[in-house]
Chains A and B, each alone.
Chain A
Amino acid sequence: MAEYWTIALLGCLSIPYSICASVELSAVKPSVLDGNVSSLPYSQPNHSASSGHHSSEGLSLFVMDYSHVKAPFEIVMWIMLASLAKLGFHLYGRLPAVVPESCLLILVGLLVGGAMYKVWQQPPPVLSTDVFFLFLLPPIVLDAGYFLPIRIFFDNLGSILCYAVLGTFWNVFGIGVSLYGICQVQSFKLSDVSLLQTLLFGSLIAAVDPVAVLSVFEEIHVNEQLHILVFGESLLNDAVTVVLYKLFKAFCKMQVISLEDVLVGISQFFIVGFGGVAVGIFFGLITALTTRFTGKIQVIEPLFVFLYSYLSYLTSEVFHYSGIMAIIACAVTMKQYVEFNISQKSHITVKYFMKMCSSVSETLIFIFLGVSTVRDNHEWSWPFVCFTVFFCLLWRALGVLFLTAILNKLRINTVTFKDQFIIAYGGLRGAICFSLVFLLDDFPRKRLFITSTIVVILFTVFIQGMTIKPLVELLEVKRTGKPTNVSEEIHSRLLDHIVAGIEDISGHWGHHYWKDKFEYYNKKYLKRILVRQNKQSKSSIVHFYEKLEKKHAVESPDSVVLTDLPREQRQLETSPLQLQPGELDTIKSILSHSLHHIRRKNFLTNIYYLGDLSIFHKQAPAYSRHTLQPDVNSDEMKEIQFRRHSCQSRQDNQDNNKLNDTNQIYSGCTRQKQLTRSCTIGPEYKSDQLHPTEATHPADRSIHRGDHPPSWTTDNQQDKPSISFEK
């Protein structure tokens, strides 16, 4: 069944393409994808007209004016192709489980590229480097940075930096030098490739690609530590890649390379890295400051988030700093403050839009990779290509082994051999290498380099991407284990507090000493400036609680009893413990907001980010790109349903005891361990049957905001989970 749908979709897709193709046959090769949207060098007389211009024969019924909308039309068609392809895969039930999406997308790209080649008799458009770096890459990195699990990232920062910096250096020089050695072998006929050229090639091929890693790793659900090691490395090695690439490229042009050039190169590395981070932090703080004042115009809040992060990327590119590090630093910085400032709806918008953009970007990148593979000027050299692939694998494995051996002496959570294998095996190359190789200056062997890059990318994405999941299962790598219940959460916190305390007693200063200092100054100064004043309270809890109330009101019948009926009675009536997802979320978010900051050292699998409003970290993988939490905000239908339901059940008997108890609550006796609904009816219940009880509870007033309908009265209290909201 699904297959028929896919075929139908692809058939629909081919229609607009054939239209384009027929039009294009009479026009020029599409130029937008070469990064140059300038006007066509020539155009057919009957297409040169703008829509208002008529030919001399008079009016015509049917006008085709494609050139007018050519550029946007093609962009939209590509994006449409990407989205439909993605849609198609998910209709095929079993396929995404076996073959990672990236592979399928490249295949689609290959097909499309092949089709275009047949139709136009010339190579299809190639992924322009500018388009890639300026438009396709930033959304992905922004998404990654915004949803980065900060705690575990910083816990493992040392190791990540080690892998990213030292590992990449190792790989670059290893691959470069050994390839040069291969080229020296006379029988391979490669001796015109110089050392600098192989080093340059090494610098672009050695870097692990975040896009590829993300797309593959999110399907295999390894434990968070492993994930963050590989992923963090792929993000942070951008600085090294940028520096080395530019360095070797410049060296290739220079006649004489002196020592001071090398020193400049090394110092450039620090500047690029730290400069990028500084730019990112700067823009992050500005965003936070700006969102502080957007209380009146909440509609454009998401826009600020996106604009400033993109601006940080572009600014750092201006100075040739690492754009990726800038955008990550910006996202990480801005998240803590912006979360407090923007409204709930803006928050959701940001989340969804970011994921949408990054998803589309990623799809497009892979499709373009496929399309660009179809070219007619490949230069193939068996030894070079095979040895490139071989050396990539070899040096990565050696590097990981070597570095981990050193790191394990310094870490407490040792990286096991299985983890090391996955780290080495998961070093996928992707579109960044591809774009960089196109940016190379023209020299005789450039096409060889391009071909080998493509082969390496295809190899890693296909072979490694497809086999990594079975390998993970085979090796029984530790998977993500998140706490599924409140007990685990609470006890884990307790353990963390204990460990922090014992660390203090034993005089063990970890790097959390600085983290705590930072938190202290953050709270004292930065938050005062950057976060809206009235938002520093627990309004987030109010939101969550309200959402929970609405949700549970709708799903009332079989909820868990959480009231404090007398003990015996409760045990009789307690249904099997059903953890309502919304309720657990609420509890988790309450805990994550209110628990004190602790100094942890060994925060491994249970990830709750204190002080973060990360309601989507409940998901099993840290980055679940395609599955967002179902939005807890009920929609209109549920609201209506709830009202109807509450109208009906108001006819039910009210337990007298219950009413007395609630009366007691509202008489201000806070020591009561009653659990009742917050927006409950109070003594005014009987008189106020049809209107929201706005006046009952003082706390209710704080809930009522412009965009939230007031909560409705409740009904039968016995079988509702209730966490009352009372100060």
Chain B
Amino acid sequence: MGSRASTLLRDEEIEEIKKETGFSHSQITRLYSRFTSLDKGENGTLSREDFQRIPELAINPLGDRIINAFFSDGEDQVNFRAFMRTLAHFRPIEDNEKGKDPSSSEPLNSRNNKLLFAFRLYDLDKDDKISREELLQVLRMMVGVNISDEQLGSIADRTIQEADQDGDSAISFPEFVKVLEKVDVEQKMSIRFLH
């Protein structure tokens, strides 16, 4: 499995991915073997069914949305580059990156991009706003059936009220960022990919 993986992944590709995402060589190789193990059809891309085959994802309330986050608009296959690009959001922010000059493009795992990833999970219709209905949908998925609609509605209303500053009864991305300013997003949304 390992040898097959390394022959299929060319060094130039690894370099490109490394530059784009910031993962290390061994992390990329390891994630590639994970990619291929998920790829039952062996055509170098993952489909939605491949993701859904992961058992733990099935019980994750946000499983479907997370899967959707991998697929860009209109596509229904994910190649390795896109796979890595999405996973790169969850790379821990290293200390030496914090002092990078701001003129270079923002790395994928910056706080802003992490929050953008989360924001997009709410915002299904991609209008850059989380409306009350979208919030309710996510809340309903997270909460299960124990809570009545009214209670959920009031929780959603409270959430929007707390964040909403321009009075449009929806949460825009800057408002979302502001609400989470005290939360340590960098630590929360980081996964230790083994070296």
Contacts and interface: CB of A to CB of B under 8 A. Distances in A.
B38 to A, nearest CB: 8
A491 B183 contact: yes
Given A497-B142, A498-B62, A723 B157 contact: no
Given A577-B161, A675-B154, A501 B182 contact: no
Contacts of A594: 143-144, 146-147
B143 A595 contact: yes
A508 interface: yes
Contacts of A494: 62, 118, 121-122, 138, 142
A603 B187 CA distance: 8
A574 B149 CA distance: 22
Interface in A505-538: 505-508, 516, 538
Given A481-B182, A487-B159, A502-B87, 18 more contacts: A412-B190, A412-B191, A483-B182, A490-B155, A495-B188, A498-B62, A498-B118, A499-B189, A501-B62, A505-B51, A594-B144, A602-B190, A604-B188, A674-B150, A723-B150, A724-B148, A725-B148, A725-B151
Contacts of B159: 486-487, 490
A593 interface: yes
Q: Considering the complex of A and B, which 5 residue pairs feature the smallest CB-CB distances, nearest first?
A: A501-B66, A504-B56, A507-B34, A412-B192, A724-B150
Contact of B57 (A505, A604, A724): A505
Interface of A: 412-413, 481, 483-488, 490-508, 516, 538, 541, 562, 564, 567, 571, 574, 577, 587, 590-591, 593-596, 598-599, 601-606, 670-676, 722-727
Contacts of B34: 506-507
Contacts of B182: 481, 483-484, 488
Contacts of A598: 60
A673 B149 contact: yes
Interface of B: 31, 34, 37-38, 51, 54, 56-57, 59-63, 66, 70, 87, 90, 92, 117-118, 121-122, 138-139, 142-144, 146-151, 153-155, 157-159, 161-163, 167, 169, 176, 179-180, 182-185, 187-194
B193 A508 contact: yes
5 contacts: A487-B158, A488-B180, A505-B66, A567-B169, A725-B148
Given A412-B192, A491-B118, A499-B90, A602 B187 contact: yes
Nearest to A676: B150
A605 B184 contact: yes
A41 B167 CA distance: 84
Q: Which of A487, A502, A723 has the most CB of B within 10 A?
A: A487
A615 B146 CA distance: 19
A610 to B, nearest CB: 11
Contacts of B179: 485, 487-488, 491
B56 A412 contact: no
A29 B180 CA distance: 64
Contact of B158 (A507, A562, A595, A673): A562
Nearest to B178: A487
Contact of B187 (A413, A506, A574, A727): A413
A604 B187 contact: yes
Contact of A727 (B63, B121, B148, B188): B148
A231 to B, nearest CB: 20
Contacts of A606: 183
A723 B183 contact: no
Given A497-B61, A564-B153, A502 B90 contact: yes
Contacts of A672: 150
B185 A538 contact: no
Contact of B150 (A501, A604, A673): A673
A606 B180 CA distance: 12
Contact of A495 (B118, B155, B194): B118
A675 B153 contact: yes
A725 B70 CA distance: 38
Contacts of B155: 486, 490, 587, 590-591
Nearest to B86: A502
Q: Which of A564, A594, A603, A671 has the most CB of B within 10 A?
A: A594
A604 B184 contact: yes
Given A493-B142, A567-B169, A725-B148, A596 B61 contact: yes
Contacts of A497: 60-62, 142
Contacts of A501: 57, 60, 62-63, 66
Contact of B191 (A487, A541, A601): A601
Given A490-B159, A494-B118, A508 B149 contact: no
B90 to A, nearest CB: 5
B113 to A, nearest CB: 13
A596 B138 CA distance: 13
A449 B96 CA distance: 49
B117 A498 contact: yes
A574 B182 CA distance: 25
Nearest to B158: A486
A545 B187 CA distance: 34
Given A495-B185, A562-B154, A725-B148, A504 B57 contact: yes
Given A562-B158, A596-B142, A506 B163 contact: no
A725 B154 CA distance: 11
A508 B194 contact: yes
Contacts of B187: 412-413, 602, 604
A419 to B, nearest CB: 13
Nearest to B144: A594
Q: Which of A412, A497, A596 has the most CB of B within 10 A?
A: A497
